[in-house]
Amino acid sequence: MVSTTSFNTAKSKEVFAAAQQLMPGGVSSPVRAFKSVGGEPIVFDRVKGAYIWDVDGNQYIDYVGTWGPAICGHAHPEVISALHEALDKGTSFGAPCVQENILAEMVIDAVPSIEMVRFVNSGTEACMSVLRLMRAFTGRDKIIKFEGCYHGHADMFLVKAGSGVATLGLPDSPGVPKTTTNNTLTAPYNDLEAVKALFAENSNAIAGVILEPVVGNAGFIPPEAGFLEGLRLLTQENGALLVFDEVMTGFRIAYGGAQEKFGITPDLTTLGKVIGGGLPVGAYGGRKDIMSLVAPAGPMYQAGTLSGNPLAMTAGIKTLELLQRPGTYEQLDRITKRLTNGLLQVAKDLGHEVYGGQISAMFGMFFTGKSVHSYEDAKTSDTAKFGRFHRGMLEHGVYLAPSQYEAGFTSLAHTDEDVERTIAAAKAVLSNL
């Protein structure tokens, strides 16, 4: 375990300083830059199981898991060995491969709403494609999204879009024309009345409602009882589609995603993260009558050079196979509950106001005295305190997502000992905050 006094990140600093001259902000994706927690990001050298090693040789227990995909643990030996085998046959065909059928069948079997699926290369791509499909199917242009929900960085979704944007303090983004977001209506999460009002004001104009069925991009916020049911009913009554963005929750909240866990079946679903097993994969799928509009079966155009490539499909297939083994979700839930309860308890014992929770392998803790049901609630958090907590945990060998507005992730590789070490580190850090 790294002790605070010996914590040395000289090499990380050097690499990141160079990176800042080469890439905007020194990173390939904004949240990685630690802007919202202060200090400089650490540069990784390798990952394995529940652990990360940085370029200075420090070891950390990881609760980011490459933002979700590493649910079986980083670099799982069975995933790596399947990838070696696939690699020998080539990385991309740009033509059909058997692995696409295998992963498609697994996804269709697992996710209640999905009867047919299209593979893409990222969650962003899945969400922007599903939006086009919502509009193509209904012949309507407007959509409803929720404050604090993130659906990738496509123009139409960059309205009140949660973590990354929130962290940088950008209300929206320059470069997004008003005409693009005019049709994006927003409502507070967990607020059915607001959604009802939007439907009333825009009758026969709303293509559908898209949401994170459990929010992870405004910190961890679960749906309140009746919210998902209410959305299912409202969309049906108004001839609109219900879309679950399960890029984060798919195969994490349960094997069949949040829709399986809560027993609400949307019309369309987007996936990403876990189904790629650490390689770039996204997907959207749903009812056959809707998916049949997608080219070349139908007129809605969407394509991709590297989509469905055998390497990425292989990582996804092996990851889902591992998740199908008996007891995996029980284990994920047990370990995450132990972690979350431990963290909340230690914080409260030390006099900090915190609010948090977990479902399966997804968790969160806000530094606020308020209970958090929406992005507005989440924003009452003491983010400066979170920044100090984050830094302290890093110095004690624990890698948390570098923003108050991100969920935490556990994996099958996290042990009880890892959890105990994490809680002990939190106790040390929270004593001096």
Contact 20, 34 (CB under 8 A): no
- Enumerate the active-site residues: 150, 245, 273
Buried b (16+ CB within 10 A) or exposed e, 218-232: bbbbbbeeebbebbb
Contact 61, 414 (CB under 8 A): yes
Q: Which of 148, 219, 222, 272 binds ligand PLP (CB under 6 A)?
A: 272
Q: Which of 65, 152, 230, 364 binds ligand PLP (CB under 6 A)?
A: 152
User: Omega into 296 within 30° of 0, i.e. cis?
Assistant: yes
Residue 248 interacts with ligand PLP (CB under 6 A)?
Answer: yes
Residue 364 interacts with ligand PLP (CB under 6 A)?
Answer: no
CA–CA separation, 253 and 215 (whole Å): 11
Instruction: Output the smallest distance, CB 190 to ligand PLP, in A.
Output: 16
Residue 122 interacts with ligand PLP (CB under 6 A)?
Answer: yes
Instruction: Output the smallest distance, CB 121 to ligand PLP, in A.
Output: 8
Instruction: Output the smallest distance, CB 248 to ligand PLP, in A.
Output: 4
Q: If you search the block for the tokens 């929130």, which residue do you land on? A: 166
The one segment of 232-240, 241-249, 303-311, 416-424 that binds ligand PLP by CB under 6 A:
241-249
The residue (of 43 and 247) whose beta carbon lies closer to ligand PLP is: 247
The residue (of 26 and 164) whose beta carbon lies closer to ligand PLP is: 164
Binding residue count for ligand PLP, defined by CB under 6 A? 15
Instruction: Output the smallest distance, CB 69 to ligand PLP, in A.
Output: 9
The one segment of 51-59, 116-124, 236-244, 375-383 that binds ligand PLP by CB under 6 A:
116-124
Q: Which of 129, 167, 217, 336 binds ligand PLP (CB under 6 A)?
A: 217
Q: Which of 15, 70, 97, 127 binds ligand PLP (CB under 6 A)?
A: 127
Contact 418, 64 (CB under 8 A): no
Residue 147 interacts with ligand PLP (CB under 6 A)?
Answer: no
The residue (of 150 and 405) whose beta carbon lies closer to ligand PLP is: 150
Contact 199, 241 (CB under 8 A): no
- Nearest one of 70, 71, 50, 66 to 398, comparing CA atoms: 50
Q: Which of 60, 137, 146, 150 binds ligand PLP (CB under 6 A)?
A: 150
Instruction: Output the smallest distance, CB 164 to ligand PLP, in A.
Output: 9
What is the number of the residue whose Cβ is closest to ligand PLP?
123
CA–CA separation, 33 and 54 (whole Å): 15
Pairing of strands 355-359, 398-399: unpaired
The one segment of 123-131, 311-319, 340-348, 369-377 that binds ligand PLP by CB under 6 A:
123-131
CA–CA separation, 405 and 379 (whole Å): 9
- Nearest one of 371, 354, 403, 388 to 217, comparing CA atoms: 403
CA angle at 185 for the pair 182 and 190, rounded to the nearest 5°: 165
| Tally of CB atoms within 10 A around 160 | 21
CA–CA separation, 269 and 117 (whole Å): 9
* 208, amino acid identity: G
Instruction: Give the residues across from 208 on adjacent strands.
Output: 143, 241
Instruction: Output the smallest distance, CB 351 to ligand PLP, in A.
Output: 33
Instruction: List residues near ligand PLP by CB under 6 A.
Output: 122-124, 127, 150-152, 212, 216-217, 245, 247-248, 272, 282
